[in-house]
């Protein structure tokens, strides 16, 4: 275990923060386990890679288009659930499933490498002095760029979400996740609110997919597989780190920390020699345990006082 791998893990965690925030919107705010994210994450990645590799367009533009595509993907899940009354999890799975074909169509192949093309990171590195001039290793410089880009995107997203969820519409989304009957009784079309929330979440997730693609230098059709668990792990770790967080901004900063800590934990465990193929099982077990803590605690208290 060395400092360099922690440095790399931190940078990676920051580029994944927006993804975790997207999952947070559906899972914690809207109270909706949305599996669309696995498809929309890869959708953002596919679009971003094709923009840079085949179309030779500006990678920053690709982030915007990815965002828009994610908004559309989330809206489809929302429509399936609210208008066609398909159960919430199934709506997400259907969109995710369909997106697999769409993503393959977009890329035309299962994966796309950005090597030799103008990715976001290389564009920024072009402006900066070279690693040699700075007297550091190229890896250090590149990771540094990723880290700063990730941090800026995360902080801007947090600031934006803090504002958005404080507005009238944002308040309605939060309340709908709590109690949609009450929100309808207050004259709000909760179907539209759910569609907006899902759309918004998946827009962020697709943006994250594009950002991750730009920073890791490739997009893969399977890049979205199981990512919801990584998002949940980041949220849960963040919540454990900041147990007393009540302020919404602090809760989101906690998720950013959770995303970074998750990557550091993975880096440490890998350095102990755990097979990378076992990583998903490990993450699944950790998340399952973390999510069951409230229930386990409740059962314990039931055993303690058996009155009533």
The owner of tokens 């909706």 is 32
Q: Would you say 169 or 268 has its CB closer to another protein?
A: 169
| 87 near another protein (CB under 8 A) | no
| 86 near another protein (CB under 8 A) | no
- Provide the mask over 205-244, with x wherever binding to another protein is found by CB under 8 A and - wherever it is not: ----------------------------------------
Which of 33, 72, 175, 257 lies at the binding interface for another protein (CB under 8 A)? 175
- Provide the mask over 183-202, with x wherever binding to another protein is found by CB under 8 A and - wherever it is not: xxxxxxxx------------
Q: Would you say 247 or 292 has its CB closer to another protein?
A: 247
What span, in angstroms and rounded, lies between the C-alpha atoms of 239 and 287? 12
Q: What is each CA distance from 299 to 130, 176, 286, in whole angstroms?
A: 58, 28, 20
* Residue 83: CB minimum distance to another protein, A: 13
Q: Would you say 41 or 200 has its CB closer to another protein?
A: 200
Long-range contacts of 140-146 (CB under 8 A, 24+ apart): 140/4, 140/7, 143/7, 143/8, 143/11, 144/11, 145/121, 146/11, 146/12, 146/14, 146/15, 146/121, 146/215
Closest CA to 213 of 29, 4, 69: 69
Sign of CA pseudo-dihedral 129, 131, 133, 134: positive
φ, ψ (nearest 5 deg) of residue 225: -60, 120
Candidates 177-185, 211-219, 255-263, 266-274 — which segment interacts with another protein by CB under 8 A?
177-185
Which of 57, 169, 279, 286 lies at the binding interface for another protein (CB under 8 A)? 169
CA atoms within 13 A on the CB side of 29: 27
Q: Would you say 130 or 186 has its CB closer to another protein?
A: 186
| 247 near another protein (CB under 8 A) | no
DSSP 191-236: HHHHHHHHHHHHHHHHHHHHHHHHHHTEEETTTTTTHHHHHHHHHH
Q: Would you say 247 or 271 has its CB closer to another protein?
A: 247
Strands 218-220 and 111-113: antiparallel
* Residue 184: CB minimum distance to another protein, A: 5
With beta carbons less than 8 A apart as the criterion, state whether 6 and 214 touch.
Answer: no
* Residue 28: CB minimum distance to another protein, A: 9
| 172 near another protein (CB under 8 A) | yes
* Residue 16: CB minimum distance to another protein, A: 26
With contacts defined by CB under 8 A, how many residues of the chain interact with another protein? 23
| 263 near another protein (CB under 8 A) | no
Sign of CA pseudo-dihedral 214, 45, 18, 193: positive
The owner of tokens 């066609």 is 84
Q: Would you say 121 or 236 has its CB closer to another protein?
A: 236
| Binding region for another protein (CB under 8 A) | 164, 166-172, 174-175, 177-179, 181-190
């Amino acid at each position: 275990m060395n400092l360099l791998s922690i440095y790399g893990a931190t940078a990676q965690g920051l580029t994944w923060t927006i993804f975790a925030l997207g999952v947070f919107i559906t899972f914690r705010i809207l109270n909706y386990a949305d599996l669309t994210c696995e498809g929309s994450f890869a959708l953002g990645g596919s679009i971003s890679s094709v923009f840079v590799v085949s179309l030779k367009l500006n990678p920053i533009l690709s982030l915007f288009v990815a965002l828009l595509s994610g908004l559309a993907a989330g809206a489809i899940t929302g429509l399936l659930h609210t208008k066609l009354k398909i159960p919430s999890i199934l709506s997400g799975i259907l969109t995710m499933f369909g997106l697999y074909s769409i993503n393959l169509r977009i890329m035309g192949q299962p994966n796309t490498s950005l090597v030799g093309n103008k990715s976001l990171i290389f564009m920024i590195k072009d402006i900066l002095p070279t690693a040699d001039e700075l007297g550091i290793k190229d890896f250090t410089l590149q990771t540094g760029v990723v880290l700063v880009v990730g941090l800026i995107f995360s902080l801007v997203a947090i600031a934006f979400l803090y504002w958005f969820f404080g507005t009238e519409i944002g308040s309605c989304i939060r309340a709908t996740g709590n109690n949609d009957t009450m929100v309808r009784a207050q004259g709000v079309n909760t179907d539209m609110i759910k569609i907006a929330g899902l759309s918004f979440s998946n827009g962020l997730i697709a943006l994250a997919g594009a950002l991750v693609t730009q920073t890791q230098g490739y997009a893969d059709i399977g890049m979205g597989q199981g990512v919801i668990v990584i998002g949940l792990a980041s949220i849960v770790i963040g919540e454990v780190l900041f147990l007393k967080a009540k302020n919404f901004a602090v809760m989101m900063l906690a998720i950013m920390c959770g995303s970074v800590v998750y990557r550091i934990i993975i880096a440490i465990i890998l350095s102990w020699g755990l097979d990378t193929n076992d990583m998903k099982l490990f993450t699944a077990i950790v998340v399952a345990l973390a999510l069951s803590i409230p229930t386990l605690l409740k059962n314990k208290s039931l055993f303690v006082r058996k009155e009533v």
